[in-house]
Amino acid sequence: MVAMSDRQQAMINDLRGKVVAVVGLGKSGLAAARLLDAVGAQVRLVDQKPESELVDLASPLQHLNTQIFGGNRFAEGIQPAECVVLSPGVPPSLEAINQARIKGVPVISEIELASWFLSIPLVAVTGTNGKSTTVSLLGRIFEESGRQAFVGGNLGTPLSEAALTMFRHEANHAGGPAPYDLAVVEVSSFQLETIDRFCPHVAVILNVTPDHLDRHASFADYIAAKGRIFENQTADDFAVLNVDDNQLLPLHESIQALSVGFSMKERLPNGVFLNDPLIMASMSGQTYPIMPIEEIQLLGAHNVANVLAAVAVGLLCECPISTIRRAVGTYRGREHALELVRKRQGVMFVNDSKGTNVDATIKALESFTQPVVIILGGKDKGSDFTQLREALQQHAKSIVLIGEASESIAKAIMGIGDIRQAQSLSQAVELASHLAVSGDVVLLSPACASFDMFRDYLDRGQQFRDLVNALPA
């Protein structure tokens, strides 16, 4: 049994009876509200949507003592708060939130709140691309090693759900082992913007390329937000970084934790690297093999880098090499990330709906030696689509554009090949299937967010699957 720490008890005492505004009623907001209610806070559910819509969104919390503030009562919901908890999709620059900050009210992210109630080691992974794959692979590694790991965060199940489970176990003095002995979470730049004491025992940055520049003022600000993952670490913690990514070099100077690298290009004195045909590790003064590269099941060189990062974390968390090798060798990836949907008439249809930025789409294109018919487009996040030109010239035989960003993409890549427009994903799949011949790949990798036409990237990916599977044999 894990005992509740003095720090956790102090947090409970501090929040009990306090008015806390949870802003944004997505999954993380609802999870934060449940946790806050359990520790005795007075919870206000605040969202910019009309209150008529919020009643349905908040229905899972109807048995709790919460108040709903939406639409023109948004600022009213925040005004008396003694603490504000932001969901990732809520910009911290909103005027009502700024006013709270000016008054000295703490404005924190859901992952910050959750971390206050976790007495287990925390592994946190961020980066522009590969977070979900790496976190899911780590979940498989820990499962193979017999660990009881919570796997979630921005990936799916909010960290507050793990915190609530652990809190109830500890508060009830339940017998037997704790529900989790470790938490592995994907964290985004949005979540890291508003941390305070969030301190992972192992923190990972996979890579950084321009993304979310519709929210962050500059690429430098985006990198700085990612770098906050190391902010509260000490010499007893580990910072795992991609040493091949020059954009991460400025972060190295401020790291207080023990730095561990991973590299596709160079032999490292402390880290995990490729030495063809093997994945090798150098740790604690010893260099040793982990596994042959050919055992990796994932498509694309970028996923080899994700594997290196996961191997490094597994070793730092004392997982046996044999279980790491077995987990990596049997892991075939996440849904909607270079997922093979179907082979039809010699054509591979691949779902990479999670490719929501330019760099992810470039990496997806580079995963194939076959000619590619690519479906691009969606909601623009302030991306520079001209960066797609070289990869499209090298790998794409045809380009089918959809969504709000289609005109911007068309201008950015003008003159590089066969460019078509489609009014819907259904039309795009039909067109791509006619353009492709045996030996080609039809790839959905939009380089854009999904919210112009779909609920989210999951909805987009599922609709692509359904449309592909509905094509006649």
131 labelled binding-site residue: yes
What three-state secondary structure class fits 321? helix
| Residue-level length of the chain | 473
Q: Pairing relation of β-strands 149-153 and 83-86? A: unpaired
Quote the CA–CA distance of 135 and 321 in Å, as a whole number.
18
Cis peptide before 200 (omega within 30 of 0): no
Task: Give, as one character, the DSSP assignment of residue 183.
Answer: E
Residue 373: name the closest of 299, 436, 422, 463 by CA: 436
Quote the CA–CA distance of 168 and 175 in Å, as a whole number.
12
Tokens 């930025």 sit on residue: 357
Task: Give, as one character, the DSSP assignment of residue 19.
Answer: E
Torsion of CA 258, 228, 211, 367, to 10 degrees: 20
424 labelled binding-site residue: no
Quote the CA–CA distance of 367 and 390 in Å, as a whole number.
14
DSSP string, 423-454: SSHHHHHHHHHHH--TT-EEEE--SSBSTTTS
Q: Position 294: which residue type?
A: E
152 labelled binding-site residue: no
127 labelled binding-site residue: yes
Residue 178: name the closest of 378, 385, 3 by CA: 3
Sequence-ordered alpha helix ranges (H) in 244-320: 249-252, 301-316
24 labelled binding-site residue: no
**Cβ-count burial 185-215 (b if 16+ within 10 Å, e if not):** bbbbbbbbbbbeebbbbbbbbbbbbbbbbeb
330 labelled binding-site residue: no
Strands across the sheet containing 107-109: 66-70, 42-47, 19-23, 83-86, 107-109
323 labelled binding-site residue: no
Residue 25: name the closest of 61, 75, 73 by CA: 61
* CB-CB contact of 281 with 311 (8 Å): yes
Provide CB contacts within 8 A for 232, sequence distance 6+: 195, 197, 198, 199
Question: What residues are designated binding site for ATP?
Answer: 127-133
Question: What residues are designated binding site?
Answer: 127-133
